[in-house]
């Protein structure tokens, strides 16, 4: 829908609205009402489509009206995504007028909440939300995600959503002002540094605040000091003691942060429950803490399902015994595991998070493995080595069972199991914009909701729809992770390396092919030399979806083919499918990962890779590459923060965007690897041959396969 | 005397007109929208929301009301079938039933089907109480209301068609 230039001038006439409601009656009515108000309306009955439309061109709409209760995605989730990525005003629509429902809408950032049936009088005034937002934007607006669709062509996150920024802000009238302002602004990532250079806030539009890693760190420190419940912007501001930071900046950042925390905890809960569901999984998964348990892996693995966590455990291990903060740790294999489990049976329960996570779960669970992987990546590299040993031992067990290996349908993610690192790495990557390991966590942390799609997806690999679903899940996952990522900035290669190392270790130590589930080797940090191991974490582990994340590992040999090593061709098929699903997930999770990750979906390769994987130790590299790929992939879509340091919300966005990207890719082709490849692969993948989705990743010949 | 506000007066007048002509008349009430309050056909079954829908019909979308209604019936029959299925297979799954009914309520209230909406609400109440029998009873009522409403509206549209395009054409937007 093009906007007629003339109509724009007569605002609110011609205001462009995107209406989303799965109920056809309501949607038609709403459309008619809006048209009667002389707005320009686009309707869709699917949230996914809506997101796609919005992402296509951020400047295409002024306002979004969405139903709360939708089958493919929760309205609140859509609301958050839109708020984060596109920063458009969103109005919620619902038949439920209970206070708590309305409250939920507000806390999620809705600028209004309307009850069905909607009356035209109420709609006549909705344009105020657009104006209000514009005004606010022009003032000092702190975006966590510098790469907001608004302004700043030179937005900080050059890497991310460049295109997005380019589209300009929806606030047309402000655009010229903004641009000018943007250009004057030098603050890219480091607000503090540029503080002095900013114009005098009192007289001019305040420059956008870029929440750099340091800034965010200060913020988090201040919040923790005050206590999350007592943290009020004014006090936070005082504690932070940053010049040129206003209370409003802090307030809006705080709001996002709270949302993020909430999501994380939701995800964590989910994981926890999932873990529990899996039976005896080690709750420690969640913490990822010292994974020393590869053993965990085993357990799950054996079950075929690979309870999400179990498989994940290894990842934990991988990360390192200390698993300090590396994302993985937080990621807690559980997350990953979760994914895995779901696989087995289209269980939805896991779908949510675990699915995603466990995606990679060895064997059965693919999902999150990537996620787990990513976290593991974060783990110390040193740890890695150790872990690897452990992992290897641990993995074998797990892996063999993993669905991955056997192409069991269940877990699409299978891959992950072995390479928690790998797969995790990815998710993490994406997430950790800066957080590094957390990124994986993030993906994991994504609420379980997303997973629903994913979980199921894994099971039905063949079902492209599922992929989409999972994708959704995945997307969601990524969204959350923010929290976990400690703003360590940089998703570190180290982590990746660690993860990879772990993976490798796992694969290597074991004589049997670790069929590392096509873990998504999340493109962990860009080539991490350490990673050099041949962690060919192919993202493809995901079973069918061999998403190979072409980790841009420099020269990294190849992806970790987590896909169950040694799987026979048939298995590969299955894995592939799973992988597909997983990949979907993985992709989504990666969005933010380092630029390098490329996600390559190559079912075939995965198998090979696995083999190779075992033999090769360049897991790390792969992982790194993968994650980097992710980042790459994501970059275009989402505003991926180059520096992981970005505030979490960024990640979220990235994820979201990447996810969406992935989704797009996936949904359109059910597995559209190609799509992904196109979009993502473009990113650098220096060495990765796979870029561009060609399956032929140059993976490290696994040879022995795990 | 100011017994009747202007609105009341109109309404009274409106009703009078309707009653006078009985079923066959389609009074154009410019103030309230194209069609008078569904004459006697749908009285009590539809509320003011339906009027809103009618008011949205114009030259640009001359069949808007019928389209919306058709859409409604199609979608709600699907939802009803879902609920019925769940009632058979997972009768105790109240949260699922509740969620399905919640979806139905959205469109029911958008169309202005008053009585049906009330039954749907009581169904949801039974769900939250965990009262299976109550749910089943309510559900039967919902279905009855649905069928009745469908008949009435079909009659209504027939009526409108018989009334001829003239009245409709002269109906102007508010």
Residues of B in contact with A28 (CB under 8 A): 67-68, 71
Q: Which of these, A354, A496, A507, A320, lies nearest to A423 by C-alpha position?
A: A496
pLDDT at A109: 86
The 3-state DSSP class for residue A240 equals helix
pLDDT at A405 over 60: no
Q: Please name the residue that has the structure tokens 């990113």.
A: A683
Instruction: Give the residue from chain A lying closest to B69, CA to CA.
Output: A25
Which residue(s) pair with A547 in the sheet?
A601
Q: Using the beta-carbon criterion (under 8 Å), do B105 and A95 form an inter-chain contact?
A: yes
The Cα-based distances of A683 to A85, A424, A640 in angstroms read 20, 20, 12
Query: Do residues A374 and A531 touch, judged by C-beta distance below 8 A?
Result: no
DSSP B157: H
Decide if B118 touches A, using CB distance below 8 A.
no
* SS3 letters across A649-662: HHHHHHHHHHHHHH
- What's the half-sphere exposure (Cβ side, CA atoms, 13 Å) at A79? 26
Please write the tens of the pLDDT for every residue from A473-513. Answer: 333 333 333 333 333 333 344 444 444 444 444 444 444 43
A3-17, A73-87, A675-689: which has the highest mean pLDDT?
A73-87
Query: Do residues A591 and A638 touch, judged by C-beta distance below 8 A?
Result: yes
pLDDT band per the 50, 70, 90 thresholds, residue A57:
confident
Share of residues in chain A with pLDDT > 70 (%)? 27
Instruction: Give the residue from chain B lying closest to A34, CA to CA.
Output: B56
pLDDT at A171 over 50: no
Q: Which of these, A479, A433, A353, A667, lies nearest to A77 by C-alpha position?
A: A479
pLDDT at A41: 93
Q: Which two tokens stand for residue A594?
A: 């380092």
Q: Which two tokens stand for residue A511?
A: 């004589």
pLDDT at A401: 37
**How close is the nearest chain A Cα to the Cα of B21, in Å?**
31
pTM: 0.40
End-to-end CA distance of chain B: give it in Å, rounded: 28
Which of the residues B78, B79, B106, B114 would you substitute to probe the A interface, choosing the one with the greatest number of A C-beta atoms within 10 Å? B106
Strand ranges in A13-84 using DSSP code E only, listed in sequence order: 16-20, 40-44, 63-67
Residues of B in contact with A29 (CB under 8 A): 53, 56, 68, 110
- The string over A406-430, giving b where at least 16 C-beta atoms fall within 10 Å of a residue's C-beta and e elsewhere, is bbbbbbbbbbbbbbbbbbbbbbbbb
At residue B169's C-alpha, the angle toward residues B164 and B172, to 5°, is 140
**How close is the nearest chain A Cα to the Cα of B106, in Å?**
5
- Least confident window among A211-220, B78-87, B97-106: A211-220
pLDDT at A222 over 70: yes
Decide if B52 touches A, using CB distance below 8 A.
yes
Higher pLDDT, A653 or B49: B49
Please write the tens of the pLDDT for every residue from A550-596. Answer: 333 333 344 333 333 333 444 444 444 444 444 444 333 443 333 44
Examine the predicted complex and report whether its ipTM is higher than 0.85. Answer: no
Decide if B110 touches A, using CB distance below 8 A.
yes
Instruction: Give the residue from chain B lying closest to A93, CA to CA.
Output: B106
Q: What is the mean pLDDT of residues B130-147?
A: 91
Please write the tens of the pLDDT for every residue from A310-365. Answer: 333 333 333 343 433 333 333 333 333 333 333 444 444 333 443 334 333 333 33
Q: Which two tokens stand for residue A422?
A: 């790998």
- The string over A233-249, giving b where at least 16 C-beta atoms fall within 10 Å of a residue's C-beta and e elsewhere, is bebbbebbebebbbbbb
Q: Which of these, A635, A626, A619, lies nearest to A602 by C-alpha position?
A: A626
> Which chain B residues in 53-72 lie under 8 Å from chain A, judged by CB atoms?
53, 56, 61, 64, 67-68, 71-72
Decide if A1 touches B, using CB distance below 8 A.
no
**How close is the nearest chain B Cα to the Cα of A75, in Å?**
13
pLDDT band per the 50, 70, 90 thresholds, residue A42:
very high
Residues of B in contact with A123 (CB under 8 A): none
Which of the residues A24, A25, A101 would you substitute to probe the B interface, choosing the one with the greatest number of B C-beta atoms within 10 Å? A25
B158: Cβ contacts below 8 Å, ≥ 6 apart: none
Residues of B in contact with A67 (CB under 8 A): 106
């Amino acid at each position: 829908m093009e906007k007629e230039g003339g109509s724009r001038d007569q605002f609110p006439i011609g205001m462009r609205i995107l209406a989303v409601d799965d109920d056809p009656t309501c949607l038609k009515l709403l459309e008619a009402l809006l048209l009667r108000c002389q707005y320009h309306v686009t309707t869709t009955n699917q949230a996914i489509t809506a997101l796609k439309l919005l992402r296509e061109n951020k400047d295409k709409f002024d306002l979004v009206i969405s139903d709360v209760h939708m089958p493919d995605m929760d309205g609140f989730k859509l609301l958050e995504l839109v708020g984060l990525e596109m920063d458009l005003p969103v109005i919620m629509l619902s038949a439920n007028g209970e206070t708590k429902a309305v409250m939920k809408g507000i806390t999620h950032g809705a600028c209004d909440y309307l009850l069905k049936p909607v009356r035209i009088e109420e709609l006549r005034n909705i344009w105020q939300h657009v104006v209000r937002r514009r005004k606010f934007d022009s003032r000092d607006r702190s975006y966590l995600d510098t790469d907001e669709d608004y302004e700043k062509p030179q937005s900080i996150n050059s890497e991310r959503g460049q295109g997005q920024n380019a589209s300009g802000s929806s606030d047309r009238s402000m655009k010229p002002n903004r641009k000018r302002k943007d250009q004057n602004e030098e603050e890219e990532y480091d607000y503090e540094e540029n503080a002095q250079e900013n114009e005098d806030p009192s007289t001019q539009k305040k420059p956008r605040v870029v929440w750099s890693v340091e800034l965010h760190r200060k913020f988090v420190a201040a919040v923790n000091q005050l206590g999350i419940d007592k943290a009020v912007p004014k006090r936070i501001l005082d504690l932070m003691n940053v010049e040129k930071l206003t209370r409003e900046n802090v307030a809006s950042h705080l709001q996002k942060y709270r949302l993020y925390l909430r999501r994380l905890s939701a995800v964590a809960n989910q994981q926890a429950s999932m873990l529990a569901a899996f039976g005896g999984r080690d709750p420690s998964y969640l913490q990822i803490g010292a994974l020393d348990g590869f053993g965990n892996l085993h357990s799950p693995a054996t079950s075929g399902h690979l309870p999400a966590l179990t498989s994940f455990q290894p990842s934990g291990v991988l990360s390192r015994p200390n698993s300090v903060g590396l994302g993985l740790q937080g990621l807690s294999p559980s997350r990953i595991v979760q994914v895995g489990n779901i696989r087995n049976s289209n269980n939805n329960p896991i779908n949510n998070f675990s699915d995603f996570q466990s995606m990679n779960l060895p064997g059965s669970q693919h999902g999150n493995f990537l996620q787990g992987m990513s976290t593991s990546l974060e783990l110390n590299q040193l740890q890695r080595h150790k872990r690897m040993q452990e992992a290897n031992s641990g993995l074998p067990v797990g892996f063999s069972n993993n669905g991955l290996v056997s192409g069991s349908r269940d877990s699409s993610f299978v891959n992950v199991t072995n390479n928690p690192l790998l797969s995790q790495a990815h998710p993490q990557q994406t997430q950790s914009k800066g957080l590094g390991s957390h990124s994986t966590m993030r993906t994991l942390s994504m609420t379980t909701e997303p997973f629903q799609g994913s979980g199921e997806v894994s099971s039905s690999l063949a079902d492209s729809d599922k992929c989409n679903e999972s994708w959704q899940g995945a997307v969601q996952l990524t969204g959350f992770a923010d929290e976990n990522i400690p703003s360590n900035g940089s998703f570190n290669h180290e982590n990746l390396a660690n993860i990879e190392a772990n993976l490798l270790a796992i694969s290597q130590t074991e004589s049997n092919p670790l069929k590392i589930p096509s873990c998504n080797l999340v493109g962990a940090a860009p080539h991490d030399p350490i990673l050099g191991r041949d962690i060919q974490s192919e993202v493809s582990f995901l079973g069918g979806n061999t998403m190979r994340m072409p980790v841009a590992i420099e020269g990294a040999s190849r992806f970790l083919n987590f896909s169950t090593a040694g799987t026979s061709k048939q298995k590969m098929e299955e894995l592939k499918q799973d992988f597909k699903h997983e990949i979907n997930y993985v992709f989504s999770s990666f969005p933010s990962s380092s630029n390098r990750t490329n996600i390559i979906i190559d079912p075939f390769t995965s198998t090979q890779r696995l083999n190779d994987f075992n033999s090769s130790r360049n897991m790390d590299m792969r992982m790194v590459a993968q994650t980097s790929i992710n980042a790459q992939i994501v970059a275009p879509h989402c505003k991926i923060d180059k520096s992981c340091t970005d505030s979490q919300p960024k990640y979220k966005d990235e994820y979201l965007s990447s996810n969406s990207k992935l989704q797009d890719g996936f949904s359109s082709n059910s597995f559209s690897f190609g799509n992904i490849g196109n979009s993502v692969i473009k990113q650098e993948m220096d060495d990765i041959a796979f870029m561009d989705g060609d399956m032929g990743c140059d993976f490290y010949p696994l040879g022995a396969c795990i | 005397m100011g017994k009747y506000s202007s609105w009341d007066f109109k309404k009274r007048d409106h009703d009078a007109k309707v009653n006078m002509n009985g079923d066959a008349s389609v009074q154009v009430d410019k103030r309230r929208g194209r069609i008078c309050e569904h004459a006697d056909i749908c009285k009590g079954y539809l509320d003011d929301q339906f009027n809103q829908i009618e008011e949205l019909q114009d030259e640009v979308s001359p069949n808007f009301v019928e389209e919306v209604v058709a859409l409604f019936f199609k979608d709600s029959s699907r939802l009803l079938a879902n609920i019925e299925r769940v009632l058979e297979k997972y009768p105790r799954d109240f949260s699922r039933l509740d969620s399905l009914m919640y979806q139905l309520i959205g469109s029911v209230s958008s169309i202005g089907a008053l009585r049906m909406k009330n039954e749907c609400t009581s169904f949801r109440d039974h769900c939250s109480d965990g009262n299976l029998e109550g749910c089943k009873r309510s559900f039967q009522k919902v279905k009855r209301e649905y069928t009745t409403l469908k008949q009435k509206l079909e009659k209504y549209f027939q009526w409108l068609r018989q009334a001829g395009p003239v009245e409709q054409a002269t109906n102007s937007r508010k």
